[in-house]
Every structure is written in C-alpha cells, then in structure tokens.
Amino acid sequence: MLFLRSRRAVLLLLALLGAGVVGRIWGAHGYRVGQQVPTILPWSMFLPLCCAYAIGVSAASPLPDGELLGRRCIRGYVRGYLVVATVLAVVAIAWAMSRTPPPISAPAALRDLAGMLGLSLVSIAVAGASSGWVLPGGLMFCAIILRMGDVDFLPVTWLVRDDSDTVSRIIAAGLFVAGGVATHWWPRHGQLT
Amino acid sequence: MNAFVVQLRRGPGLWITPAMVLAGAALALSQLQALTVWSESSSAAANSPYVMGAFVAGGGSWLSVQARRRGTLQVDQLSARGPAAAAAVDMGALAVWALVAYGLVAAIVLVPTAFRATWGGPAWLWLAESGVGLVAFVPLGWGLGRLAPSRFTPFAVAVLAFATAVFWDSSPRTYWWWHRLFPALQWIQRPFDEPRALPLVGQILWYLGIGAAVLAIVAVTGRDSARRTRALAAVACLLVAGGAGIAASTESGHVVFAELGVHREMVCAGDEPVVCVHPAYRDTLPQVQERFTPIVQRLAGTPFAVHRAVQQPREDLAYLTPGATGFGLDWATSTYVDIAAEDLVRNALYGTAACDLSSADLSIGLDPYRVVEVWAFGEGQVLDPHAKQALTWLSGLDGPGARTWLTSHAGQIRACTLAYSDFS
C-alpha cells in the first residue's frame, strides 16, 4: 500500500480513466495532414503518448536514493506495477478508440502505446522523470510534422502509419522490450526527479 | 552576469537544444521541395517554432517545477534584486538557448538558399517575429509550471503547446487577426507576395508583452512594491495592449499579413509560346518550356491555342491578363512543373468557366469534358470504359482532324457540357 501511495497510483488510475473518456468523446475527430496523400490523423493519437509517459512517471521513484539504500529490493514491485498499469492503459485506449475509423485507429494506438511506453521507460531511466519527456514527446511531434510534409522516414513516422503496418509493429515491440530492460536500472543512484 | 552563465550551463536549454534543432530542421526541410526561392526558405525557417515551441514551453515549465519541488522559492523571495530576478535569469538563459537553436535551423535553410536563389532576399522581419514568438513560449511554459508543480507538468505543457499549435493551425479561421497572436503558426509565403511590416511589429510587441507580464505577475505576487515592479507592470500592459492593438487595427477582422500579388515582373523565354515565370523561378524556365511545348502544339490552331503562358499566383489564376494563359508553379521541381502543365491545360480549355475539376481520380466517373484535358496533357490513363473509348478516338485523329473537332466543339468544352456522344 505504501508503494502504491508513493507512486500516486490513484492519480494514474484517474488519468487513464480520463484519457479513456476523452478519447471516447473525441476519438473520431481528427485533423488533416499531408498535401499529396492527405490523411485524417485522429486527435486521440496523442493518448498513447500521454498514457505511456504518465505510466513511466508514476512508476519512477520519487526518492531513488532512499529506495536504493533500503533493505528490501522493490524492483519487482515496480515491474508488477508497470504490468498492471499497462494492462489498464490498453483497456482504456482500446475502449477510447473503438469508434475511430481506419486507417489509423485502435490497433495503431495500441502499437504506439507499446512503443511510447518502452521509449518513455528508457528515457526516464537516462534523464529522469521530469526531463525524460524530450525523447518520446519529440519523436511524436516530429512524426506528425513529417507526415504533414508528406515525408515518410520510418524511424520516426512509424508512429503515424496505418493499423496494418508490420514494420511499425516490429519497431514498437523492440522499443517495448528495450523499456522493460531499462527498468533493470531503476531506481538509479542520483537519478534526477 | 555570473548567475546567468551558471543557468546557461545548468538549465534545461543545453540538453533541449539538440532536440529543438533536429525537430525544427525536420519541419523546415519537410516543407521545402527546393532551396532556391528566398520567400519559401524564409517561410520554412520562420515556421520552425511551430514544433520548437513545444520543447521551449516544456523547458520553461521544467524550470519553475524544479524550483517549487525543490522548495527553493524562499531563495527567490529573499533575493536582494527582487523576487522576479531569479525567474528572469532562468527564463533569459532558456530564451538564449532557444534563439541559438532557431538560429541554427535558420542557417541550415537560409545558407544553401543564399548560394542558389536567383531573386529576392530573406524576410528578416518575419524571421525576427518568429524568433520572438519562440521565446514567448518560455514565460508561458514557466507560468504553467508554477501553477502545477508536478513531475508530469513539463511533458504535459510540451504536448499541450504542440497540440494547441496543430489545433489552432487546422481551424478554419487562420487569417483572423487574433489567430496570429498564438506564438507559432505555419504560413507559406510565395514570391509574388510581400509580408506586411505593421502586423509583424504588433506580434513582436505582443510576445514581448507576454514575457514582461509573467515577470510582473511574479514580482507582484512576491509582494515586491519597488518602483521597478510598477514600471515592469506598466511596460507589460503597454506591450500587450499595443501589440494586440496594432495587429488588430491593421484591418478590421480579416487581416492579411502579406500584400498579395506585389511582385509581378516576369522573366520570359521562347517564341511560340512565350513562357514567362517569376524571376525567383528563373532556373525552372527551360524545364517548363520543354514540358509546355507538346501541349501547345496539340492546341495550336484551335480556339484554345496558347501564345503566351504566364506564371501567376494560384489565387489569381482566374484573373488572366489579356491574351495570356496562366499557370501556377508552387515549387521549382519537376513534379510541380507537371502540376503547372495541368494548370495550363485547364486554363486554356475552360478559362474562367466553373467546371467541376475536383475529381482527382481520372479512372472513376470521369466527366466527358475532362477527356479533352487528359488528351491535351498528353499523359495519364483513364479506366472508365466510356472515357477510355473517347480518349482512344480523340488520340486517333490526325492533326487537322483534331483541330477541326476541337474548333467545332469549343463552346461545349468551355461550358463543360461535352457529352460522350460528341466523340464521334
């Protein structure tokens, strides 16, 4: 219970619930990107990024030095917490985007959630919770602006590809695994909070 | 000065700058098809704060969040220079890094253009306005971070800044004056147009006013009653009101931030037809001539003959100069030369007639009058059986036969009332 309180689990739960409701209401609305091949990108494509970073920030220790020096190793608790939070986020996003029409809908959002969560965990492990947003956030912003300019640069634009794109799924899965590995170094001594 | 240098080294600006440069350069270069026209390169560089602003807002938010979370606010309150001094140093250092990043992005775009452009020069005032707009994200992010000091806030502020820019940019009222008070928007300027100085100056004052207002609020809430605080508050009010006022007063409601169709001097070449383009597109002229020649030959000797093809701004294509056929050329690349050829064909055939040209897919339900367009353009396949049959028939005619048919059906083509039964 103390662990859940230290991670502000209730706030995270409310945030995921809020993301689900907002996505459910606004999921079908979008904005037009691209000149030569115009696509409607749903506003709810920001939800996977927000949920993923919220999970990462919530799981990161507010007192890394204290937990590092503690008698009990809490790495297992952190991983369990991440698994439960991820399952809840998957449910929230799948529900939120169930009414969003293809080509960019729930499967793409879940793929992005996996990739963004992995990237967020790596980024937080390196730069800390309040500074780690630059990498996942920057990747999402760049993906959207490149899509606006009809540029398809796979390492970036996999985030805004269609539901059925296999290469994007592989990239997202790779990032997800990398994020899981990165939690091995949580909490890290001297980690910025 | 020491505190400023320390903050330059230890603040978030140093590690955000590479991300800002990468994102800004990605946006600028993705908007450009060629680094040959000054107005287009200036547009791309000036649009880069559209994405860079999100990083700056997040960084500004990080600054104030850290101060609140580390419990160091009392240090600001005890400062001999006033409670706003620390905030000013924090924000100033981040603003310097933001301007460094913006300068690098501008250099990436403008330096190659300087070697390749054939006409005009950079829009310095517009570039400056965008730079000040980028800096305006610092106090905005800083203020939001002070209001909600959480580890999640910098991320949330960055996403909010970017999503707001996208939302603001994609809303239909893009050209209303209050729309331009948001610090980062996208705008492509063509070489025919000239940015207007007064609205840009108004925007710069507005952005400076935002920064001064945030500092004044910090000073006032810190119970600093010194004369400098009152002066700062007065300056902030003047800048905000003056900037918004100038931007609003330039025209009532529907502001145009550029004079359209100012530069119309042309560079011409060829004999039949004479092809004229804006001097900024001078290097494209041989390519345009080459692409237009077969089209002109097909239409020669008919009521649709092209004697003089003149590049015109897209919004002015309906207002053709007497005896000339207009075409739009958006970028100096081969893809856009093809699009220019399509424009030429349409203007030659339909003139100002209000035909429905919205169907980009020539394979489904093609209107009969558009078969002539495909034939004149000389490329493109049609899959619609009726259209295919009509196109085959028209292509099978020899030169004099095609000219006679076009002449006899000119009225129907112009009025967009041609039927498939006419292709016989």
Tokens of B129: 């306005």
| Contact in structure between A89 and A113 (CB atoms under 8 Å) | yes
| Contact in structure between B96 and B146 (CB atoms under 8 Å) | no
DSSP state at residue B325: E
- pLDDT for residue B356: 58
| Contact in structure between B378 and B290 (CB atoms under 8 Å) | no
CA distances from residue A63 to A68, A72, A157, A189 in whole angstroms, order as listed: 9, 14, 36, 10
Largest CA distance in chain A: 60
- Which chain B residues are within 8 Å of A133, Cβ to Cβ? 58, 154-155, 158
Tokens of A29: 């609305």
- pLDDT for residue B319: 56
- pLDDT for residue A96: 86
In chain B, domain spans: 2-259, 267-422
The answer to whether residue A33 is domain-embedded is yes
Helix (H, G, I), strand (E, B) or coil at B311: strand
The answer to whether residue A127 is domain-embedded is yes
Cβ separation of B163 and A50 shorter than 8 Å?
no
Helix (H, G, I), strand (E, B) or coil at B235: helix
**Any CB–CB contact under 8 A between B55 and chain A?**
yes
Q: How far apart are CA B383 and CA B365, in angstroms?
A: 9
Q: Distance, in angstroms, between B345 CA and closest chain A CA?
A: 20
| Contact in structure between B17 and B59 (CB atoms under 8 Å) | no
Q: What is the mean pLDDT of residues B172-176?
A: 60
Indicate whether this complex's ipTM tops 0.85.
yes
Which residues 240-279 of B have a C-beta within 8 angstroms of A? none
DSSP state at residue B176: B
Q: Distance, in angstroms, between B67 CA and closest chain A CA?
A: 12
Q: How far apart are CA A4 and CA A2, in angstroms?
A: 5
- pLDDT for residue B55: 95
Query: Of A87-96, B11-20, B245-254, which gets the smallest average pLDDT?
Result: B245-254
CA distances from residue B336 to A106, A179, B26, B123 in whole angstroms, order as listed: 36, 44, 21, 24
Q: Distance, in angstroms, between A119 CA and closest chain B CA?
A: 14
Which tens digit of pLDDT belongs to each residue from B128-137? 999 999 999 9
Mutate to test the interface with B, among A16, A53, A57, A130 (most CBs of B within 10 A): A130
Cβ separation of B26 and A145 shorter than 8 Å?
yes
| Contact in structure between A119 and A135 (CB atoms under 8 Å) | yes
Q: What is the residue type of A5?
A: R
Q: Which of A78-82, B91-95, B416-420 has the highest mean pLDDT?
A: B91-95
Pairing of strands B258-259, A39-42: unpaired
Q: Which residues share a beta bridge with B309?
A: B275, B325
Which residues span the domain enclosing A36? 2-185
Query: Residue A129 is nearest to which of B16, B151, B156, comparing CB atoms?
Result: B151
Residue B157 has pLDDT above 60, yes or no: yes
The answer to whether residue A56 is domain-embedded is yes
Which tens digit of pLDDT belongs to each residue from A137-189? 999 999 999 988 888 888 998 988 888 889 999 999 999 999 888 887 765 54
Contacts of B221 (CB under 8 A, 6+ apart): B83
Which tens digit of pLDDT belongs to each residue from A89-130? 999 988 888 888 888 888 999 999 999 999 999 988 888 777
CB pairs under 8 A between A and B: 81
Rg (chain B; Cα; Å): 28
Domains of chain A: total = 1
Region of B384 (left: φ > 0; alpha: ψ -120 to 50; beta: rest) is beta
For tokens 């003056």, the residue is: B242
CA distances from residue B136 to B21, B92, B103, B207, B280 in whole angstroms, order as listed: 17, 11, 16, 5, 33
Residue B161 has pLDDT above 90, yes or no: yes
CA distances from residue B323 to A57, B274, B299, B307, B326 in whole angstroms, order as listed: 67, 11, 15, 7, 10
Query: Residue A149 is nearest to which of B12, B15, B30, comparing CB atoms?
Result: B30
Q: Distance, in angstroms, between A28 CA and closest chain B CA?
A: 15
Cβ separation of A130 and B22 shorter than 8 Å?
no
CA B51 to centroid of chain Cα atoms: 13
- pLDDT for residue B52: 94
Q: How many CB atoms lie within 10 A of CB A47?
A: 26
Cβ separation of A57 and B12 shorter than 8 Å?
no
| Contact in structure between A33 and A111 (CB atoms under 8 Å) | no
Cβ separation of B170 and A145 shorter than 8 Å?
no
Q: What is the residue type of B89?
A: V
Cβ separation of B30 and A150 shorter than 8 Å?
yes
Residue A38 has pLDDT above 80, yes or no: no
The answer to whether residue A193 is domain-embedded is no
Q: What is the mean pLDDT of residues B325-343?
A: 82
**Any CB–CB contact under 8 A between B124 and chain A?**
no
Of B361, B365, B362, B373, the closest CA to residue B416 belongs to B373
Mutate to test the interface with A, among B48, B155, B159 (most CBs of A within 10 A): B155
Q: How far apart are CA A116 and CA A140, in angstroms?
A: 9
